[in-house]
Structure 1
Amino acid sequence: MNRLTYILLIALVALSSLFSPQPVAASPTPTLAPQQRGGGAGRRGGGDDESDDEDDSNGMKEYSEVITEDAITKPGMFDVHEVDGDLFFEIPAEELGTEMLLIQRTMESTLQNPGSFFGGGPRLIVQWERDGDRVILRQKEYDLIADESAAVWDAIAGFRKGPVLATFDVETYGADSASVIDVSDLFLSSISEFAPIAGLNRGRSWVEDSWSFEDAVNVQVTQSGSGSAGAAGGRGGPPGGGRGGRGNTSRSQTVKKLFSMARLPDDPMMPRWHDDRVGFNSSRSYDFTRPDNRLEQVRFIHRFRLEKQNQDVAVSDPVEPITYWIDSATPDWLKPWIVSGVEAWQPVFEEAGFSNAIFGRVAPTAEEDPSFSLYDARNSAIYWRPSTVANATGGQIVDPRSGQILKGEVNMYHNIMELQKNWYFIQVGPLDERAQSLPLPDSLMGRLVEYVVTHEIGHSIGFPHNMKASAMYPADSLRSRSFLERMGGSHVATLMDYSRFNYVAQPEDNIPPEYLIPKVGPYDRFAVRWGYAPIPGAKTADDELATLDAWARQQDEFPWLRFTTSDAAGSDPEALTEAVGDEDAVKSTTYGMMNLGRVMDMMLGVAEKPGESYAELETLYGQAVSQWGRYMGHVTAIVGGAQSQEKYGTGPRFEPVAKARQREAVEYLNNTAFHV
């Protein structure tokens, strides 16, 4: 072989190796897809391992190359930097491994059907971790718990890590080894846990603004895509319709969202164990280190963290009161009513040991405070929703480690006023002159909205419905002014029952109209004390059990303190919705039917308007028919039913309804429902 041939052979081998297939390194999971970036320039999070030509030998840029002199920096929990349209987080080393609440709420949407509920949005517990020059955003799980000092914790910890949501290359390091990462794509990605708009188009989506606070970071984004009617609308409503084909998935859609990330408390609140005898929302986990050596599903209640400023007095202001921020979009004339609806709970908390515990405050407008947001994970809020939905809802977001409510939320749908008007007219119109002409005066409608707000705040501070309360007063007593005054001016023991207006009362009883509308009652005072009152000397949740049990046993003596039995739905005729005086549903329905007859006599005069259609009359007539159906349903529930009381320890929980009562119910239905 001559020298020329040898050189050519070496060159051929080199070329063949150059074009041979090479193994592809697996990228981290999940990755933020580069094709969503638009333009493809630069390097961002999501596990892109390519190096920039300007990088030094270890692939790291100088801080000034990443966070340039043109950067807009907002200091806080993380320093947040906006650089030429990109968004960077500078995460201090001490924040790595810190558990945080991350929520997303929709601020504006072309997907929201006028006739649909407003959906909530993701609520995640996450933490930032660092692995070399990579930062990981991981979701945390809390369905398994254990004492961290126990040997089993090593196994539990591995199954609580949760999924990796995204990864980011560290672009550079700041002071004290703070990791600087580009999060521009994080809030514009298709990470399913973030509930992105369907068919997200990166080229028509962008980060609008950001804010950093001492304990939180907020990012506002616009997302565009093909959309989905359920993405913003949540429950209810038709799949299409509305303005301009709103909800039609064949057209482009755009939403504006706020992502809010807030640090969880450094010192978790001491939890309080759940008890089926007292109504509280609760979190469930499997505890692997309970003292009885068996795997147990434990529950602790949801409640705000109220701690006395002065531990040595019976009643003290809390260290941090509960504040609900009222949407500035609420009609101005209703704002005072909503404030009073929130603060109706103040005297209840005072009985539990806390003065000035809860407030309603009108939220600042964007012009008054650009950094404030109702959607901030730290702000409890009452949203005013532009929707034809005739409803309202209340809920809460909690710290899963303790049950502490971090953010209470109430949705007030504008059309709730239509529902309240209809119910009030149909149920107690003959008992209140103000309801005998339409529209209702603002003074009455404001009071009805206030009632709804107080109910929904009850949900938001931890309470589920208690449908048993309306059966805990004798039906005849609901016609007695002195009895109603003695029980706080209300016909039902709690605001948390679906017991609307006192249709048992008759015109000749001369019940003041104010006593026709539910108020905070004795059950509410009992439940707030049970859930919120400090128990002196208790250092752990187990230390509180004896006291909580003693408080719950007061239900044996005072029936109006009882809560709906956990598995009695559909069988207990004392746990009905839309009922008043269902202790004796035949008697209360008889009285209700008498008032309904009076309503029918006055309906034409109220609903007919010269020059107007019969739409109002049609609506009210339909409401009257529905009310008749509810009355008959209350009586029907007696047949085959069983009364119940939730108990711990010994004693029967269920007792069949007496035969005589069942016969009376059948006779009533034969003479009324089946009589033509």
Structure 2
Amino acid sequence: MTSPFIRTIWLVLVLPLLSASMALAQALPTIASKTKDMQKYPGYFTFYYDRDSGKVWLEVDKVNQEFLYVNSLPSGLGSNDIGLDRGQLGGQRVVYFEKVGAKVMLVQPNLDYRAITDNKNEARAVDESFAKSILWGFKAEAVEGNSVLVDATDFLLRDAHDVIGSIKRTKQGTYKLDASRSAMYLPRTKNFPENTEFEATLTFTGGEDAGRYVYEVAPDVQALTLRQHHSFIQLPDNKYSPREADPRAGYFGISYFDYATPVNENIEQRFIARHRLHKKDPSANVSEAVKPIVYYVDNGAPEPIRTALLDGARWWNQAFEAAGYKNAFRVEVLPDGADPMDVRYNIIQWVHRSTRGWSYGASVTDPRTGEIIKGHVSLGSLRVRQDYLIAEGLLAPYEEGKPVNKTMMEMALARIRQLSAHELGHTLGIMHNYAANNNASVMDYPHPQAKLDRAGNIDLSNAYGTTIGAWDKVAVAYGYQDFPAGTDEKKALNEILAKGRAQGLQFISDRDARAPGGTHPDAHLWDNGANATDELLNVLKIRGKALQNFSQNNIKPGAPMSTLEDVLVPIYNYHRYQTEAVAKLIGGIYYTYVVRGDGQPTTTVLARGEQQKALDAMLKTISPEVLTVPEHIIKLIPPRAPGLRNNRELFARRTGLTFDPLAAAEASADFSVSFLLHPERASRLVELGARSNSLSLQDVTEQLVENTWKRKREKGMEGLVQLQTEQIVLTHLLALAHNESASYQARAIATATLKDLKSYIERRHTLNPKDSYQAHLTFALERLNRPVSEEVLPSKALDLPPGSPIGSGTVMGCE
């Protein structure tokens, strides 16, 4: 029997709510009457389109039920520098509708902080400790049973993807959304049982201060029209089993703080991102999948690109087969009429931009568990042309009277296969692996592998890998293996990683490989070879051969001779990435993502002999014979022909319209020296020199000065290059001496080196201004005597033209 007190509370608290609800229902029309003249779209969230007003009315029949909301950009701006690519995924978030009187709120709970427990009070304490986000507020306009009708038009016609912010952040102009030129895009507004898809055409106006990148791509900079997409997606069921993350496995994932975790355990929980995949028979060595993973290649990609994309993506089936799956991974062409933004399609999209740039693999992921719901690859279409350009530079293929060498197209398509596999790997949840050269993983960045044949000619027949790598099979086994019931999963996963280590495989990802002061001797971007130093010497030979052969045959008959510079740039700088790789051997420390008890080494300083070998090779890259552009090439390149723009893909210059061979040498020398005297490397060399048999910073600075300032004088262009390189060395020594991010002793050693160099210069200085060498010494002394202040900083050399990405750098991953 209910007590009088409880009855009183019920009357005080509940009756007013019921009364308000009844009053709302009586005051509002029914959904049927409100929408009787509208087009109905039944599905996950039923909605209606009013053609007269252009409005979208959303029927909210799932209150306090979580779903996934994703925004994306189906049609882009076309500028690699601004971003905003076709097919770009935006934010993804778990949300729910909450009804409060006549209001309907779209609420995003805070999943970064949770309490995974059956104790509701404990969960409530965490929920109330951290903020939620109400993303939008709607007004109830009609009601029927438990369903409420709201006007969703303003929500769908807003700048959800932050186009305005992206343009502003890149300093390309100030824009605002123009509602009068924005409307729903009905061809891509659809409904399905488990997902509701909306698309809107949005126009952004302004542009009085539009930047160069906007001018490059917009027909009218005062009106930029793009489309934005909104997806309401039913969350997966609870039959997915999250897999714990392991730093050695190389997976992206999710993390959150679980405040229900016992005090003696880690409060931060980490799980990998992966698709749901199960064997029909987990106990069988080989089994078909309950539901295979299927990807679709953009039907807008032309041939032979489309076939190359299909072929490369299908490499991953080798890894799934190695994990005991049969027909578990497929790649097909996207059916006509299918929407690439539809969550039901894993997509490999062919994206066009005005300039080459990064490709990337992203995904729609359940933030609760890490389950990948949709993989979405974006491949830049201009990258295949960059590989073709590299092949033109290496082969000089346009000899009159001879057919064009097919090797160039074969190499470019081989790169597209590898790129397709690489970016798809990110959408499987797999990180970059930069310690996997020699084709151990498609998740590394590959430089085209060239060699000299027995006749001394450049051979590109094996420029890129043709299959999935051994590491990739280990990664797929870790992420996707379906174990029989009763298996100790943690132990089984450890065994998978241990077998990979036994094969000599290792995993090192972005932070360790990208840092310019990096230290891991095996972790590099765009490198080749089992030994980085040996490969640099090989690359220099190939570069030398290509420069020796460089002629008008590097461009097609009828092409402006000034376009020879376009082909020369990637060949002259052909060694840049292998140089960067070798630099990391100097002061190099080998390490792994070791966990306690797995038997891997922690840290090992690279042997002094290996470091010295690397330093010798680095010094070779700044020698006059390597840096000097051959005379026969200089004579071939006239100023830019009319109609051809100077652009960032070309060498910087200090000579106005004419080709500047000294500027090319300046940028290349500065590139090498900047790695040798990087403040982090310099500080590390000081430390290693004190505690191990390593090269010291004194060794590096002494040999650097000995091989530049104190080497034999060259003549002609090589002499000019030599003088210029010496000033670059001085620049970096001055910078290091006054760089407060370097250690005190590194700065002290740089200062001592400068003092010794000054004494050397003073002994050779005779004040003969007509002698170019004496002028060079006078300028160096003036720089050494100049007071260093915030106003007077060491000179900065010219930059190299952009090289990365080869084949044209957070989403899940990019290349």
TM-score for both structures, normalised by structure 2: 0.65
Given candidates 105, 109, 124, the residue that maps to 1:136 is: 105
| Cross-structure match for 1:409 | 376
Find out whether 1:459 has 2:404 as its counterpart.
Answer: no
Q: Which runs of 5+ in 2 are unaligned?
A: 1-22, 167-174, 626-815
Pairwise mapping of residues 203-214 of structure 1 onto structure 2 (< 5 A)? 203-209=180-186, 210-214=189-193
Q: Write the deviation string for residues 602-649 of structure 1: whole angstroms up to 9, x where unpaired.
A: 332541433221354212211122223333333222111111222111
Corresponding letter in the other structure for 1:537: A
Corresponding letter in the other structure for 2:140: V
165-174 vs 442-451, which deviates more? 442-451
Shift of the alpha carbon at 1:188? Answer: 1.6
Find out whether 1:617 has 2:568 as its counterpart.
Answer: no
Q: Is the 8 A contact 1:393 1:410 kept in 2?
A: yes
Q: Is the 8 A contact 2:197 2:342 kept in 1?
A: yes
Pairwise mapping of residues 381-392 of structure 1 onto structure 2 (< 5 A)? 381-387=347-353, 388-392=355-359
Pairwise mapping of residues 194-233 of structure 1 onto structure 2 (< 5 A)? 198-209=175-186, 210-226=189-205
SS in 2 for 1:525: helix
Give the distance between the partners of 2:73 and 2:418, measured in 1 at CA.
27
Shift of the alpha carbon at 1:556? Answer: 4.1
| Cross-structure match for 2:304 | 333
The 1:506–1:187 alpha-carbon spacing in structure 2 relative to 1, beyond 3 Å, is same
Pairwise mapping of residues 482-561 of structure 1 onto structure 2 (< 5 A)? 491-503=438-450, 506-507=453-454, 515-518=462-465, 519-537=467-485, 544-561=489-506
The 1:222–1:580 alpha-carbon spacing in structure 2 relative to 1, beyond 3 Å, is same
SS in 2 for 1:226: strand
Give the distance between the partners of 2:528 and 2:43, measured in 1 at CA.
53
Shift of the alpha carbon at 1:305? Answer: 0.7
Give the distance between the partners of 2:395 and 2:470, measured in 1 at CA.
23
Q: Is the 8 A contact 2:40 2:47 kept in 1?
A: yes
Given candidates 562, 582, 607, the residue that maps to 1:635 is: 582
Q: Is the 8 A contact 1:101 1:262 kept in 2?
A: yes
Q: Write the deviation string for residues 290-323 of structure 1: whole angstroms up to 9, x where unpaired.
A: 3453552222111111112333432222222222
Pairwise mapping of residues 180-329 of structure 1 onto structure 2 (< 5 A)? 180-189=149-158, 198-209=175-186, 210-226=189-205, 238-243=212-217, 248=221, 251-267=222-238, 269-291=240-262, 293-294=264-265, 296-329=267-300
Corresponding letter in the other structure for 1:383: Q
| Cross-structure match for 1:655 | 604
Find out whether 1:107 has 2:81 as its counterpart.
Answer: no
Q: Is the 8 A contact 2:395 2:554 kept in 1?
A: no
SS in 1 for 2:304: helix
Shift of the alpha carbon at 1:408? Answer: 0.9
Q: Is the 8 A contact 2:387 2:411 kept in 1?
A: no
Find out whether 1:60 has 2:28 as its counterpart.
Answer: yes
Q: Is the 8 A contact 2:250 2:507 kept in 1?
A: no
Corresponding letter in the other structure for 1:350: E
Q: Is the 8 A contact 1:636 1:666 kept in 2?
A: yes
Find out whether 1:96 has 2:63 as its counterpart.
Answer: yes
| Cross-structure match for 1:123 | 92
Q: Write the deviation string for residues 571-598 of structure 1: whole angstroms up to 9, x where unpaired.
A: 11211111111x4222121222222222
SS in 2 for 1:516: coil
Q: Is the 8 A contact 2:521 2:585 kept in 1?
A: yes
The 1:89–1:161 alpha-carbon spacing in structure 2 relative to 1, beyond 3 Å, is farther
TM-score for both structures, normalised by structure 1: 0.78
Find out whether 1:669 has 2:634 as its counterpart.
Answer: no
Q: Which runs of 5+ in 1 are unaligned?
A: 1-54, 232-236, 471-490
Shift of the alpha carbon at 1:516? Answer: 3.4
The 1:187–1:136 alpha-carbon spacing in structure 2 relative to 1, beyond 3 Å, is same
Give the distance between the partners of 1:273 and 1:429, measured in 2 at CA.
52
Q: Write the deviation string for residues 205-248 of structure 1: whole angstroms up to 9, x where unpaired.
A: 222323211001111212223268999xxxxx9543225565x4
Q: Is the 8 A contact 1:87 1:183 kept in 2?
A: yes
Q: Write the deviation string for residues 164-204 of structure 1: whole angstroms up to 9, x where unpaired.
A: 11122222223x52222221221123668798995222222
SS in 1 for 2:574: helix
263-272 vs 198-207, which deviates more? 198-207
Shift of the alpha carbon at 1:440? Answer: 5.6
| Cross-structure match for 1:7 | none
Aligned length: 577
Give the distance between the partners of 1:273 and 1:227, measured in 2 at CA.
49
SS in 2 for 1:364: coil
SS in 1 for 2:227: strand
Give the distance between the partners of 1:587 and 1:574, measured in 2 at CA.
13
530-539 vs 456-465, which deviates more? 530-539
Q: Is the 8 A contact 2:390 2:571 kept in 1?
A: no
| Cross-structure match for 2:593 | 646
SS in 2 for 1:276: coil
SS in 2 for 1:545: helix
Q: Is the 8 A contact 1:427 1:503 kept in 2?
A: no
Give the distance between the partners of 2:396 and 2:255, measured in 1 at CA.
44
546-555 vs 405-414, which deviates more? 546-555
| Cross-structure match for 1:595 | 542
Q: Is the 8 A contact 1:572 1:644 kept in 2?
A: yes
| Cross-structure match for 1:393 | 360
